[in-house]
Amino acid sequence: MNTFACSDPTHQDSAEFFCINPFCQEDHLICFAQCFKTRKHLQHTKDIEKISELQSYIVQMKFDCTELLDQINLFQQQVKINLDKLKEGIQSKYLISQIQLAQLNAKQINQVLTSIIQFKEQKQALLSSLY
Ligand SMILES: [Zn+2]
Ligand SMILES: [Zn+2]
């Protein structure tokens, strides 16, 4: 087990505890002789861990972090799938070739014109939902 110096460089003893209180303004590595006896961290002793727990704390952190990254990766894949679908939808709705146009009947051309008329508004709505 490694020893760690106290966060306060003027303290002689090595750190025996570390503080994980998210609101604590003190340094995190704590020696017993000076830090603890000067009552630092006294308001949140439930957040004080033995220095021997530091390694396993870091390992746990690694698990948590990996789990978070996995979730972000899944989210990223899902976003990509959704954006691909959106792009396909836009292409099939608005990108009409002249050949396709020549093959459409009057009712279908009417639908195309409806789409074209609504395009600007839909484009604006889409862009503002993306940003
Ligand atoms: Zn100290
Ligand atoms: Zn603290």
* Full DSSP string of the chain: ----B-SSTT--SBP-EEE--TT--S-SEE-IIIIITTTTTGGGGGGEEEGGGHHHHHHHHHHHHHHHHHHHHHHHHHHHHHHHHHHHHHHHHH---HHHHHH--HHHHHHHHHHHHHHHHHHHHHHHHH-
Ligand 1 centroid distance, CA of 10 (Å): 8
- Position 124 in a domain: yes
pLDDT averaged over every residue in the chain: 92
- Position 30 in a domain: no
Ligand 2 centroid distance, CA of 8 (Å): 13
For the chain, what's the residue count?
131
- Position 100 in a domain: yes
Domain with 113, as residue range(s), is 96-131
Ligand 1 centroid distance, CA of 113 (Å): 76
Ligand 1 centroid distance, CA of 50 (Å): 14
- Position 108 in a domain: yes
- Position 46 in a domain: no
pTM to 2 decimal places:
0.63
- Position 130 in a domain: yes
**Max mean pLDDT range (64-68, 98-102, 111-115):** 64-68
Q: For ligand 2, an ion, list residues with CB under 5 A.
A: 19, 21, 24, 26, 41
pLDDT at 1 over 70: no
End-to-end alpha-carbon separation of the chain, Å?
A: 50
- Position 117 in a domain: yes
- Position 110 in a domain: yes
Residue from 52, 54, 36 nearest 44 by CA: 36
pLDDT of 39: 82
Ligand 2 centroid distance, CA of 37 (Å): 13
Report how many domains make up the chain. Answer: 1
Ligand 2 centroid distance, CA of 14 (Å): 17
